[in-house]
Amino acid sequence: MSLEAQYCAHNYLPLPVVLTRGEGVFVWDENGKKYLDMMSAYSAVSHGHAHPRLVSVVNKQVANLTIVSRAFHTDRLGPFLQRICQLTGQDMALPMNTGAEAVETAIKAARKWAYTVKGVTPGKVEIIACSGNFHGRTMAAVAMSDEPQYQDGFGPFPPGFRIVEYGSLDSLRAAINENTAALIIEPIQGEGGIVLPPPGYLKAAEMLCREHNVLLICDEIQTGLGRTGKLLACDHEGVKPDGLILGKALGGGILPVSMFLARREVMEVFTPGDHGSTFGGNPLAAAVGLEALNILIEDELAERSAERGDYLLRKLRRLDSPLIKEVRGRGLFIGIEIDPTVASAREICELLMVRGLLSKETHETVVRLAPPLVISEAEIDWAMVQITAVLTELEKVQLAS
């Protein structure tokens, strides 16, 4: 920690624990203390730490071929893209590495589609995003944000973005015009605090986009691949987006793998030289990504997430604590909103860490619970004991003061 403090940019405020090993739903610190991981690296470790099938694939692929760039074909990329396109119902995919890169890819695709297919006047295109969104840390993603800290000191920002109220169909309808290329939206907002829109909103937004020839692009970097109890969070309302952004769990918790998927009319706006990535779609990433998808389907992890998520949500909603304002979520994507006048989410996460449960606060007011999808009911029961104990401890402190 002292070396990080000295040599690493202070762009994170981690909990004071040094992790050295992981297996399944558990991680261990440098002193050998065991923790239940209820964070999953922001949904990236949905399969659990060091999944043996993924480790085996890594070892085999590293010994064969890892990176040659997209200057050449490889035997791993095609099967990977075929599998993910067939699973999601999209026509084509463009592989990248990080979620933020995939978001940038989606923005570029939407803009070029608007100019070359929809016929928007050059330089006039607009993309709609939602209040409270989080689409990454790049300049374009920050330009779409309405979080003051994400923008403070980093301007000027690229133009062409409009922000509407998340969950409000009237706000979306008022923002759409002849220059609108796309709506980029999270079906459930993760960094916003596990915020769900009103029932039926996403489906109504899809219909509105269809009516006005506007692309619906769903950012499922955190919510996708089983996290919410369906393969995709948009599946809960039967929504078929024109474009789909995936990342996090796509790399099986092993390495960064992301991609933008879309219907053919959208993806074919790209020609050689328009866009690229030296590492995107490399053989190692493709091999790991394909096995991660196979595990997801064969082990029914989305179904497990639905069952375990319902189990955890029921238990959390039974808690009677003055510290809790609301419990919300879907599948194993859950937020406990804390009353900031009583306690901070950071304080709760620190006390949970002492008890061997790792989570992380969001905006100081929400404790996020998003464990690996392989978590058992017994492990959830143990987590509930720790959460209940911490809430009780803080309630006593408040009464004493």
One-letter-per-residue 3-state SS of 61-111: HHHHCCCCCCCCCCCCHHHHHHHHHHHHCCCEEEEECCHHHHHHHHHHHHH
Residues 204 and 137 in one domain: yes
Residues 204 and 352 in one domain: no
Q: Which of 37, 112, 219, 360 is catalytic?
A: 219
Residues 233 and 107 in one domain: yes
Residues 85 and 231 in one domain: yes
pLDDT at residue 364, as a whole number: 87
Q: Would you say the pTM of this structure is higher than 0.85? A: yes
Distance CA 144, CA 161 (A): 6
Query: How far lies 107's CA from each of 111, 156, 244, 246, 259, in Å?
Result: 6, 18, 11, 14, 13
Q: Which of 269, 298, 327 is the last residue of a domain?
A: 298
pLDDT at residue 399, as a whole number: 73
pLDDT at residue 70, as a whole number: 95
**Ranges under pLDDT 50 in the chain:** none
CA nearest neighbour of 370 among 144, 193, 138: 193
Residues 314 and 327 in one domain: yes
Q: What tokens were used for 395?
A: 């309630």
Residues 216 and 271 in one domain: yes
Cα 1 → chain centroid:
27
Residues 246 and 346 in one domain: no
Residue 279 annotated in active site: no
pLDDT at residue 363, as a whole number: 85
Q: Which of 80, 134, 260, 279 is catalytic?
A: 134
DSSP 24: B
Into how many domains does the chain fold? 2
| Angle, vertex CA 136, rays to CA 182 and CA 181, nearest 5 | 10
- Domain of residue 272 covers 52-298
Residue 33 annotated in active site: no
Query: How far lies 306's CA from each of 195, 329, 330, 332, in Å?
Result: 17, 11, 8, 7
Residues 111 and 160 in one domain: yes
Q: Which of 246, 273, 298 is the last residue of a domain?
A: 298
Q: Which of 242, 248, 270, 333 is catalytic?
A: 248
**CATH, residue 116:** 3.40.640.10
Residues 215 and 340 in one domain: no
Q: Which residues pair with 369 in a beta bridge?
A: 334
Residues 59 and 27 in one domain: no
Other CB atoms within 10 A of residue 371 CB? 28
